[in-house]
Amino acid sequence: MQSARLVAFLVLALTSYCSAQTSATKAAIAPPSSPEVKRWTIPSASEPVLSQQAKLKLLREKVKYVFVLFQENRSFDFYFATYPGADGLYSHPPSQVAGLSQPIVNVDGTVSTISPFKIPFSVTDINGVTVPLYPSDLAGSNHNHVAIDNKLDVDSHGIASNDRYALTEEAITLSHGKPSRIPSLESKQFGELVMSHIDCDVAPFLWRYADRFTLFDHFFDTVIGPSTPNAIAMIAGQSGETQWMLHPEVADAAGKSSARLPMVADPAPYWGSLLDTKGDHLRQPQPPPRSTLKDPKPTSDPRSNPSPNLTFAALPLSFMGSDIEKTTAADYDPAFDLLDVKADIKKIAGHGTPATNWAWYQQGYDHEPTDDAGATSHDTYIVHHNAPQYFGYVANNPDVNTHMRGLGDFFSDIQNQALPTSGVFYVRGGYGNIFGEHPLDPNPALATEFNGDDDHPGYSDSQLSESLLAREINAIAASPYWPQSVILIAYDESDGHYDHARPRIRSRDPGGLPLDQGPRIPAILISPYGAAHGVAHELAEHSSIIKLVDEMFHLIPLADLPDEVRARSIGIAKYHQKDLGPADDKVSGVGDLLSGFSNLRLLGRSEPLPASYAEIPESDITTYPHYNGQGCSTLNIRPTDTGRPNPIPADFNPRPDTTPGIPTSGTWIP
């Protein structure tokens, strides 16, 4: 029986892998939606075949700006499980959807099953009373390294079953069918929460961008774990494997310290921490622990146990180009910061590629519009989301530190046309929102609790997060940068929410747990030269964005830099792991996102997509809920679960911790 199950898993995994691989040249076209979208859609069969080099040559001629709008903590299935044309919950026979039915323990100790369900705006309880659920504000789930490993339920062959999401969230194991403990109502509701998803009624702007441009449905996060390692992977393609290889003392196989490498937790950066006592130059912001309604008095200060100084290669090093020796000479402590990139620096210097312009805009890093004049509060700044701050050759160098900016700076730079002639620009939100908006909440006590705009459950409102994306895209679309731009909506990790697609496990951490890669996450490519109404099945992850940047700006892949090559060879010899390190080269199954571009548009044989096609009117942005909660009908999209039963649990609560109980009339609804 087990052997048959293994064969079935292997066949399904191989079929999915090969299907995604062979579809990588161009995007498929989703089922029809609105007439406006149909007007700009080019049938896939009409797209001519271009070699990768020919397509890259055209792309370099047309596109000068890469904007990465970097969001937080959502699985692909959470947003797009029912998107037509994508690899969703109803794209395969139920028997081929990993984890479609999985165990959950009830409050009386019995074991039942749970399947994915859609969170509606409201439910009607047994007394006929309509109860709002408000799916825009959800509790955060368990998304630490061990928890997601457990949720994936990876067997000895590296195949994920994806069937332990609910149990892991309940913090329960089963032995011979018996639970290790009986859950509380709150614990069970968390187990239900991770199996939920939403659609175009709740997330209409994301669906609109997916509908009009290209949705990637095989984009996985890099590291099995939380935000910080995947933020670092966005610019490095890894979370510290090569530093671990060169300095094995930084590894903690027992997993007892959050400040070890490879990074699998959310430690604060060394720069600005309580250990950073090297003087008062370049003091990086690092706010103290944040108080919340759930945790009004945080007891631990992450600044006291920060990450090691990161000394492996990342894009900010490559961006220095032929100026790299001059630029790194300004580092305040080169022996500390450049320890593991000395050979990399020499190779980059001799490559002959000029410096690439770049910036990392993150809310709260410096003075924001919500701050008082002359004061910088950093109160909306999430330090463990700022990947460049972890690297000494960025944070401890006055000539490089200037590339880290605030969110308000992004909007002013776009409006004032202050960007350079080309470059790569990352944009992130935070704990608050700089536009001062507060959508209504059914629980008055939470009026300001879900005020964030980076889409992270537990403190962000997904409507505010969509509004920020829309304003960012509108700003680019209204600027002279639009005709030469590609915009990537990207996420860091899944927040521990269920996704049915099996990640490809290619490396393990010092303790032997699966490390790379993690669950599937949303990704959308927007460009005047994009494939309209496309669904790209290309295998991708954060390194795919690095790979695209490498190719567009003639950078040496991080994986090919000599210090990274040296570390990788140690991984092969000592740990028998060939894929430790950056995945922008030398790792199979990592695409470069080129399938998101239309060959006809790049060739000039079809009209580029106009800015107006990307823009969302400000009046739609400021009206909550967006499209009055009728996004699917507004967009003329029919989700694939239409007409199907929705197995929403009777005791479901989207916020078990901040609004405990069962959300029925007379409890927590005002």
Q: What is the pLDDT of residue 301?
A: 76
Average pLDDT over residues 275-279: 81
> Encoding tokens for residue 436?
């001062």
> Encoding tokens for residue 56?
């890259």
For residue 112, list its beta bridge partners.
104
Q: Evaluate whether 419 touches 298 at the Cβ level (below 8 Å).
A: no
Amino acid occupying residue 459: Y
Residue listed under structure tokens 């078990």: 656
Residue-wise pLDDT tens digits, 17-32: 433 443 357 899 999 9
Binning pLDDT at 50, 70 and 90, where does residue 16 land? very low
Residue-wise pLDDT tens digits, 168-192: 999 999 999 999 999 999 999 999 9
Q: Phi and psi of 210, rounded to 5°?
A: -65, -40
Residue-wise pLDDT tens digits, 113-142: 999 999 988 776 656 667 677 899 999 999
Helix axes 462-477, 204-212, angle to 10 degrees: 40
Q: Left, alpha or beta for 515 (phi > 0: left; psi -120 to 50: alpha)? A: alpha
Helices (H), 164-277: 165-170, 185-193, 204-212, 227-236, 241-246
Q: Evaluate whether 522 touches 81 at the Cβ level (below 8 Å).
A: no
Q: What is the pLDDT of residue 526?
A: 98
Q: Evaluate whether 490 touches 628 at the Cβ level (below 8 Å).
A: no
Query: Which residues, 6 or more positions from 144, have their beta carbon under 8 angstroms from its beta carbon?
Result: 225, 226, 264, 265
Nearest to 153 by CA among 216, 224, 90: 224
How many angstroms separate the CA atoms of 593 and 217, rounded?
A: 11
How many angstroms separate the CA atoms of 642 and 543, rounded?
A: 35
Q: Does pLDDT of 101 surpass 90?
A: yes
Query: Which residues, 6 or more positions from 409, have their beta carbon under 8 angstroms from its beta carbon?
Result: 361, 366
Q: What is the pLDDT of residue 8?
A: 42
Binning pLDDT at 50, 70 and 90, where does residue 14 land? very low
Four-residue CA torsion sign, 599, 604, 606, 609: positive
Q: Does pLDDT of 4 surpass 50?
A: no
Between CA 289 and CA 299, with CA 293 as vertex, the angle to 5 degrees is: 35
Domains of the chain: 35-82+207-237+311-609 (3.40.720)
How many angstroms separate the CA atoms of 223 and 220, rounded?
A: 9
Q: Does pLDDT of 288 surpass 80?
A: no
Cis peptide before 608 (omega within 30 of 0): no
Average pLDDT over residues 489-508: 96
Radius of gyration over alpha carbons of the chain, in Å?
A: 24
Q: What is the pLDDT of residue 134?
A: 81
Binning pLDDT at 50, 70 and 90, where does residue 422 land? very high
Binning pLDDT at 50, 70 and 90, where does residue 91 land? very high
Chain mean position to CA 634: 27
Number of Cβ within 10 Å of residue 127's Cβ equals 9
> Encoding tokens for residue 101?
């039915």
First-to-last alpha carbon distance for the chain, in angstroms, is 53
